[in-house]
Amino acid sequence: MSEEEKIDNSDLLESIAMLEQILEVMPTDIMTLKALFNAYNQTGNIESAFEFLTRIADVSLMNKDTTLSQFVLENITQFEEQYSSEVAAHSARLQALAGDKEPSTSDSTPKPPSTPKRKKKKKSKAEAAIASELALAWRLYEDNQLSQEEYSLILNDLTEISSKDLDIPCSVLHVIFDRKMPIINKIRNYLSNRSGVPNVSLANFSLPKEVASVFPIDISIHDGALPFGFIGNDLMIAVLNPFDSALIDKTETFSGHHCHPYLVAPEEYDKMLEKLKELG
């Protein structure tokens, strides 16, 4: 396992714990189940990843959701070596739901589907990073910063955005801003007060050229941490999720600098990201 993978795994562990709490309240919430499947899959925990994929399969069958069953079929073949009989059984049931074949009445033992194996669907980078944002949304809802309706809208948008490879982070703050929710300033103040990470305006900073290569720009594009200046030898980092301490650890590992996080507005983050790309 590479150093970057080790950092990513540590980044996911805290999010996994919070997502598990969400399931205690909403055990069939698809966005949470998908996030946990992706998170466990990334950490290499095959047993837990398969468990959550099968739970998604059960929900898709219960709701007769063919789109969801397709998601399971696109991901389940990676587990054939470890769980061959279970994969065959789930595939047969899901194929029947999709209308690809009828369940057999003459043989109670599920047969593997006759269609060619599906290749494992490559996850977008946003989808891989969504766990920490879902955990943040849950924290906001649990602390009465979001209504039930706002929470549901944010989860829906995060899930949709995470399926695409965009050139900006998939974040709770971006969803709130894009939906023009009037709570944006309240949420930023809450995040700053609870985390101890100060709010700053990036409009007050010019971007020095030396920050362009301080760590891979993918971290700024997909993870939500952007370098915008130095304090002596320390690096100032703009963040969108101040509770994601593992992300700061990641920036320090790649940059070799001690990093100070600052919470910023999503629209200012996007403008500074464009300037960072130009410097690169």
pLDDT of residue 104: 40
CA 154 – CA 174 distance, rounded (Å)? 10
pLDDT of residue 198: 97
pLDDT of residue 128: 54
Q: Where are the alpha helices (DSSP H) in 200-243?
A: 217-218
Neighbour order of strands in the sheet with 259-263: 225-231, 234-239, 259-263
CATH number of 3-98: 1.25.40.10
CA 220 – CA 238 distance, rounded (Å)? 9
CA 71 – CA 98 distance, rounded (Å)? 12
User: Any residues with CB less than 8 A from the CB of 267 and at least 6 apart, and which?
Assistant: 177
Q: What are the residue boundaries of the structural domains of the chain, listed by start?
A: 3-98, 125-194, 202-279
Checking if the pLDDT of 48 tops 80, the result is: yes
Q: What is the pTM of this model?
A: 0.65
Checking if the pLDDT of 113 tops 50, the result is: no
Higher pLDDT, 57 or 172: 172
CA 265 – CA 252 distance, rounded (Å)? 22
pLDDT of residue 112: 41
User: Any residues with CB less than 8 A from the CB of 216 and at least 6 apart, and which?
Assistant: 254
Beta carbons within 10 angstroms of residue 59's beta carbon: 18
The two structure tokens encoding residue 155: 């989860």
Tokens 């899930």 belong to 159
User: Any residues with CB less than 8 A from the CB of 181 and at least 6 apart, and which?
Assistant: 150
- pLDDT band for 5, please (50, 70, 90 cuts): very low
Best CATH choice for the domain 202-279 from the list 3.40.50.620, 1.10.1660.10, 3.40.50.300, 3.30.300.160: 3.30.300.160
First to last CA, the chain: 28
Which range (9-13, 54-58, 87-91, 276-280) has the least confidence?
9-13
